[in-house]
Chain A
């Protein structure tokens, strides 16, 4: 469209305008810098509230007024504004390379240039002031008609956004109320949005009470995971995928619990499959019923205990030193002792009706061969037949006691089969088969990392891989929620509402957010409070900006070089 000579002269003038623009923008930025330092200096030395700000603003306006004429002439010039956009881009980039607000007041050049807080510095804001001025002028110069509506919307809406932004900054606040369940507070701690530093507080005129707080993790999702060790590392795996070994293992596959499905391990002949998943694992024990026919080679007894701490079972072995007694005073209040053949001395004493030679210790003595139980309680001997699955109460209310599950002349005949007690995910265990192609399979039991330490993982022989079973999901927070009441000055509840992330509560122009929680303290909730008078103006600006740009691009197309 442009012929070349036209283009050239165009370039020439534009070149001058660009140069002039860069000059004027730089000067404005310098003025911003000087004014802010005056603001800080006056504020520090003359302790009158607001005087520093006033001084800074006056200096800013005064100095900018000195260059008002050239500035006004150029401010709606496209090259001026494009230069300004580029300046803003560069300054913003600078603020991502220099750590921001590491300290409230940084001495030296960085502090003087406000490089530690670029985004709130006056020189940075000056760019936007120039932009706003340019937008107003360019828009006012263009005819207002339906054809140009997109142009006006796109160029006036950024002003709305800027005004909203500044309104929030000067008239609003951001803060937090830290509450424990049941507590109520009307004071908001104000903090700096960027550094998170609390610098002041304000009163709401009403109180917020935390009625209830809850948070929940995601449901567990147990999976078979294949991990690969680093060649030099140890097999270390911590749940949650966090590995504290310097040469961490890496999870390479995570498989859903699909029994029977065969998986090949990459780059090896090894295969594996899940053969069974037990949500609430336990061994099921079976012993032959005709125990009279079994020779007493390695006798044992299996006893179920009912205690204040829950159910448990023990296995005592008559011929294994140290395993024939359970000195359990805490739970049952008596020792458990198991003999297949009672030692003569003990037998003699038990058979004499009067108790002699015993300590004061309460004892329960199991006699395997004669299938008897002797209770030596408070100096009295009681004899009972040893029968399986018969409950013997050790407390009056029957909360404590025991029953014999199996009497075994030889523990070798005991058969233990893996089983699940229930379908609840209480004690998940996975049984996997691992084999080399063409070879026979090996069983492995996998279980998740317990709170105390290592989980049951299985190193695949001859490889760098190991198998594990973990749930990662249930370590992630699903939601957290505060139930709050707004309490008026007269103590009346005026509003009740839950507050969740993404679901703030509105009351009297204040917004209440679910901002903070503490996994260590389930009663604590941090309620973010803000007053943002510019918010709706900003949202309006957003909407109009997109609408304006869309109109400019696709409804009334602006002139371009096509």
Chain B
């Protein structure tokens, strides 16, 4: 992994370093509950997000195409959308614990991406040479980022069922209810998940003359969508406990991870059109 890191671009190294710094600040922030400190961590997180934006943009220019082809590229983009949603969540709900958990996960994604690093930029196959590729992928990754952050909220709910006091600088001290937080972020995620699924079908029709081929990846995308649709309805029925709802979201996030990374482990993956090229 160290060798892989050695050969990455200076921009990639800068991005990892910035997120490392953000993580460090959030960790210290567990002990400093001052207004200025909260602003500092959010500011640094924003700065790291900008470095990540440049990283994605630079790759886009260097490759001469949207940087979503390989697993490595998509992981970097997942960092970007997760950061984006975390920043919005932190700003909107004034909860710093989300920033902390997000940056831990982001560092994890970066480390994982090193093992999947594509040494050489690959060209786009004909099916991916279309504008439809871009909104589809962006929708999905915004959805994944949002639902991942919602999952972090669900996790926090399990630990703090009575909520925590917000120590965020930007607002007054108020209580954060993680159940509401999870619901609000899930809604955002579900909207983009729906859009991503349907844009994918539309594109599939154009590229392969098939909007739905019962391909494993498509099926798992559908399963993920069903789980979050069930979550929204469960919440509406009101019969399920808050703990139960948090678990449904966590299961939904696990389904996302499986859809994203687990397809190679399925016996039916052999003739899937939807596999990431890695290495």
Contacts and interface: CB of A to CB of B under 8 A. Distances in A.
A561 B238 contact: yes
Interface residues of A, number: 71
Nearest to B197: A542
Interface in A494-540: 500-504, 511, 513-515, 528, 530, 535, 538-539
Interface in A225-265: 225, 241, 250-254
A95 B129 contact: no
Nearest to B234: A82
Nearest to A503: B206
A193 interface: yes
B87 to A, nearest CB: 19
A205 to B, nearest CB: 20
Interface string A78-104: 110110011011001101111110000
Interface in B181-215: 183, 187-188, 190-191, 194-195, 198, 201-202, 205-214
Given A78-B236, A513-B209, A223 B7 contact: no
A82 B230 contact: yes
B127 interface: yes
Interface string B98-138: 00000000000000000000011011011101101000000
B250 to A, nearest CB: 15
A89 B268 contact: no
Given A96-B220, A218-B123, A515-B208, A502 B129 contact: yes
Nearest to A77: B237
A542 B212 CA distance: 13
A395 interface: no
A325 B190 CA distance: 80
A194 B214 contact: yes
A7 B194 contact: no
Interface string A6-33: 0100110011000000000000000000
Interface stretch (B15-23, B25-33, B221-229): B221-229
B219 A501 contact: no
Contacts of B227: 89
Interface stretch (A300-308, A316-324, A435-443, A475-483): A475-483
B3 A266 contact: yes
A502 B237 contact: no
Nearest to A81: B233
Contacts of B130: 502
* Best-surrounded residue of A10, A82, A528 (most CB of chain B within 10 A): A82
Given A174-B210, A560-B235, A553 B3 contact: no
A542 B201 CA distance: 9
A279 B198 CA distance: 47
Contact of A546 (B191, B210, B214): B191
B268 to A, nearest CB: 5
Contact of B207 (A97, A223, A502): A502
Contact of B120 (A93, A254, A513): A254
* Best-surrounded residue of B119, B183, B187, B236 (most CB of chain A within 10 A): B119
A108 interface: no
Interface residues of B, number: 56
A357 interface: no
Contact of A2 (B7, B230, B238, B266): B238
Nearest to B131: A502
A528 B235 CA distance: 45
A314 interface: no
Interface string B241-268: 0000000000000000000000000111
B206 A502 contact: yes
Given A82-B233, A218-B123, A546-B198, A96 B183 contact: no
A479 B6 contact: no
Contact of A501 (B183, B194, B207, B213): B207
A553 B233 contact: no
A267 interface: yes
A252 B239 contact: no
A464 to B, nearest CB: 11
B3 A472 contact: no
B166 interface: no
A181 B248 CA distance: 55
A119 interface: yes
Contact of B132 (A477, A502, A546, A562): A502
A560 B127 contact: no
Nearest to B3: A266
B210 A539 contact: no
Contact of A504 (B126, B209, B239): B209
Given A85-B226, A549-B191, A478 B123 contact: yes
Interface in A179-238: 193-194, 218, 223, 225
Contacts of A274: none
B58 to A, nearest CB: 14
B239 A79 contact: yes
A550 interface: yes
A559 B214 CA distance: 35
Nearest to B203: A502
B191 A266 contact: no
A472 B277 CA distance: 14
A85 B191 contact: no
Contacts of B201: 538, 542
Contacts of B206: 502-504
Given A78-B237, A119-B214, A252-B3, A473 B123 contact: yes
Nearest to B201: A542
A453 to B, nearest CB: 22
A545 interface: yes
Given A79-B239, A174-B210, A223-B120, 15 more contacts: A82-B230, A85-B229, A89-B227, A95-B268, A98-B267, A99-B268, A100-B268, A194-B214, A252-B7, A476-B122, A501-B207, A530-B209, A535-B205, A538-B201, A562-B183
Interface of B: 3-4, 6-7, 119-120, 122-123, 125-127, 129-130, 132, 179-180, 183, 187-188, 190-191, 194-195, 198, 201-202, 205-214, 216, 219-220, 222-223, 226-227, 229-230, 233-239, 266-268, 279
Interface of A: 2, 7, 10-11, 14-15, 78-79, 81-82, 85-86, 88-89, 92-93, 95-100, 119, 165, 174, 193-194, 218, 223, 225, 241, 250-254, 266-267, 472-473, 476-480, 500-504, 511, 513-515, 528, 530, 535, 538-539, 542-543, 545-546, 549-550, 553, 558-562
20 contacts: A10-B239, A85-B229, A86-B230, A93-B223, A96-B216, A99-B267, A165-B212, A241-B279, A252-B4, A252-B7, A254-B119, A266-B3, A266-B6, A477-B125, A478-B126, A479-B126, A502-B126, A545-B198, A553-B190, A560-B183
9 tightest CB-CB pairs across the interface, nearest first? Answer: A14-B239, A254-B120, A542-B198, A501-B126, A513-B209, A89-B226, A502-B130, A528-B209, A119-B214
